[in-house]
Amino acid sequence: MATLSNYLILVAFLLATAIETISATEEQESLFECRRHMNSHCGNKIVDVLSSQKKNKVSRECCYKIVQMGYSCHSRLTLFVSQTNAELRSKNSTHVMAKNDVIFNKCDQATKPESWQYLSNCVVKIGAKCGKQIFEKQVDSKHKVTKHCCQKLVKMGESCHINLAKALIRTPEMRDVDAIQFLHNSKKIFDQCRDLE
Segment 6-22 mean pLDDT: 50
Residues 22 and 104 in one domain: yes
Q: Are residues 81 and 138 in the same domain?
A: no
Binning pLDDT at 50, 70 and 90, where does residue 41 land? confident
How many other CB atoms sit within 10 Å of the CB of residue 173?
A: 7
The pLDDT of 39-58, averaged and rounded, is 83
Together in a domain, 128 and 101: no
> Which residue range(s) make up the domain with 190?
116-196
Quick check: 20 pLDDT over 90?
no
Domain limit, last residue, from 63, 86, 111: 111
Do residues 15 and 92 both lie within one domain?
yes
Q: How many domains does the chain have?
A: 2
Span of 22-31, 83-92, 113-122, 129-138 with lowest mean pLDDT = 22-31
Of 80, 111, 142, which marks where a domain is finished?
111
Q: What is the overall mean pLDDT for the chain?
A: 84
Per DSSP, the three-state class of 46 is helix
Do the beta carbons of residue 111 and residue 171 sit within 8 Å? no
- 8 Å CB contact between 59 and 67: no
Q: Given this model, what pLDDT does residue 85 score?
A: 84
Q: Is the pLDDT of residue 6 over 60?
A: no
The Cα diameter of the chain in Å comes to: 91
Task: Verify that 107 and 125 share a domain, yes or no.
Answer: no
